[in-house]
Structure 1
């Protein structure tokens, strides 16, 4: 007979036990990502390197410019923050144990597709969207069009070599596309489509003083629409906020440790994604390009109910006003429901969000693996975010909505 010390409580059944589609996962780049295709003529001023600078910090540099945020988490020995351990690290800091080391060596599944598929099989993840690694922090530094296309095109070439854009209809890597130059953007997206891209990652905000959905950009969107591409707006520094933050005396492109709550709230939070998505809807974009689907990734979802309510109200207020893309034929909230999906945070109150919006058909899960901010493995997302949510809606969030977003059969 077992003693009391030997008796272990039975493991509780997971809240969700079905298959998973992970709509927000990442990789870490190999060294070749930064040099394999980059032309020599731009390496000095725009090449991405990792080194110790005058301050002694090991950080990422775009040409001579230090990417301040990178010094918060990069190590010269290549270690990275442990997946899903951010909350544990913050708790240790609160308890006065800031010296705790939650950094780990990169593993093969973080850097190449077959190892990632093997990990996904263990987790019963049927498909996953893959976003960039350290490049996400450098995009806002690529503020000169000619150089930006050289750097991004070189990076996309490496991404295709390393991961493919569609790996066995299970891993969907997102090349980066920018509308800074219309002709080059058209060439860029054609190349992505030719190489099998099912979705693209674009920086949030306007381009050249115009909304991305402005008719001047229609030649680009016609290509995207014909291919039925998904377009993703992933959290990053939206560089168009730089000028707005400046009038408040709030600098951007700085270490997160020194970033103020004001910038977190207004410059690096929901505002860029709300402005970007609502702009597409108010410009009547989907009337012209119904095959394009948009996704917000790693911006959370708690802003959605207020955005939908406000868009519907403002449509009524502007009913007899100026509609540069043509008057909307139906409520913005209905247009959103057909054309936009959102990856929620695991800490979001998803039940409250569903109750306010009325359905869960647009919500996707994302593990953020292998980043520290997400969950250690995808199934934990349901445990954290789906308490009180119906079984049917949980299945939508964890699997069905993501599959449908990618045009796959659940």
Structure 2
């Protein structure tokens, strides 16, 4: 494995040429993902299928319910949006080239671990966190606790079979855990740990009217803490926002093409992750569970400076108030720095973010490969996002911070 990026004669050298840790990657599922372990009783109302509906659109369905967002990018012939090409597609649309087709057939590295590892070697990616594929658009439709645990448990079984939770200490795949039923959550996370999981993915927001860090959930977090798991909150439809959006007359679970700017800003963007992470900190979670580390993935990072400033201010305002998890012993911004990491968008103004926060120690890169929204190749992230920052900070973001977050030696 090379330690520097290969540079073609006459081509400009990449902004960063060292090793990479990619904290936001995905796969595309095989057909077995949806049915291999799912009971017949769950398939009727919560089984996941792909079909052309009565409206003529090919889409994902959860039971009889169409997952509207899926119709924006799914094709019956199996093609998917080309990796890292969203900006190119949007530019073409702006220029009036509505008929541009930037879809490709899935390649082996999108579908199975051996080929993905070979691709990582080609790109000098030493390690990667890997997240779910089409399942990410279906999670908010799993709105009944028993069904949610069964569907996600069956999916996690397929994930273990096909990808492993830890593939050669290089690919760390994140099974999905929900706290909708505490007993089942504890059972599921124990199974994940026993099968090598180092990182888990959880939906953002509360469960049954309680914060995830509420002491009623401590039995679950004690298991997570003992195993020193990393817990990720990846962008998805934070379904707890649906009631708030309804107050404004703004429906959720819509096609992204039809989604309003208001929902983008308040229902699907940074608000769910800001509320989720600040809740953990204000509940004094890390005083009880210091081995747990949290990661925000594909929510960007430009919201972090304002969040840290606001948390510190609100701690002072509430200093003599009610602290259900116990009074904080330190500034929220310092607690965040010790326990939380954030995957930036390549389009974020990372220099401005670092200048405001004071350091880059919590920022991770993520290519989002093989999705269209990220970059075509992981090294492209530095070319787009790391302009104007030091070489040492660039190396932290591209490699060192991700390795340390996963407990690995850079």
TM-score, with length taken from structure 2 = 0.98
Q: Which whole-Å CA distance do the structure 2 matches of 1:43 and 1:16 have between them?
A: 47
Q: 1:225-265 deviations in whole A, cap 9, x for unaligned?
A: 00000000000000000000000000000100100000000
Partner of 1:16: 16
Q: Which whole-Å CA distance do the structure 1 matches of 2:207 and 2:42 have between them?
A: 23
Partner of 1:35: 35
Partner of 1:88: 88
Q: Which stretches of structure 1, 4 residues or longer, exceed 3 Å deviation after superposition?
A: none
Q: Which whole-Å CA distance do the structure 2 matches of 1:238 and 1:12 have between them?
A: 41
Shift of 1:98: 1.0
Partner of 2:3: none
Q: Which whole-Å CA distance do the structure 2 matches of 1:113 and 1:273 have between them?
A: 30
TM-score, with length taken from structure 1 = 0.98
Partner of 2:295: 295
Shift of 1:334: 0.3
Partner of 1:44: 44
Q: Which whole-Å CA distance do the structure 2 matches of 1:132 and 1:14 have between them?
A: 29
Partner of 2:101: 101
Partner of 1:311: 311
> Is 1:68 aligned to residue 68 of structure 2?
yes
Gaps of 5+ in 1: 1-7
Classify the secondary structure of the residue corresponding to 1:213: coil
CA-based RMSD of the aligned residues comes to 0.8
Partner of 1:389: 389
Q: 1:349-402 deviations in whole A, cap 9, x for unaligned?
A: 000000000000000000000000000000000000000010000000000000
Q: Which whole-Å CA distance do the structure 1 matches of 2:401 and 2:355 have between them?
A: 18
Length, aligned pairs only: 403
Shift of 1:10: 2.5
> Is 1:197 aligned to residue 197 of structure 2?
yes
Classify the secondary structure of the residue corresponding to 1:256: coil
Shift of 1:9: 8.7
Q: Which whole-Å CA distance do the structure 2 matches of 1:383 and 1:59 have between them?
A: 35
Classify the secondary structure of the residue corresponding to 2:51: strand
Q: Which whole-Å CA distance do the structure 2 matches of 1:70 and 1:15 have between them?
A: 35
**Pairwise mapping of residues 197-236 of structure 1 onto structure 2 (< 5 A)?**
197-236=197-236
**Pairwise mapping of residues 278-293 of structure 1 onto structure 2 (< 5 A)?**
278-293=278-293
Q: 1:284-333 deviations in whole A, cap 9, x for unaligned?
A: 00000000000000000000000000000000000000000000000000
Gaps of 5+ in 2: 1-7
Of the structure 1 ranges 390-399 and 10-19, higher mean CA displacement relative to structure 2 is found in 10-19
Partner of 1:369: 369
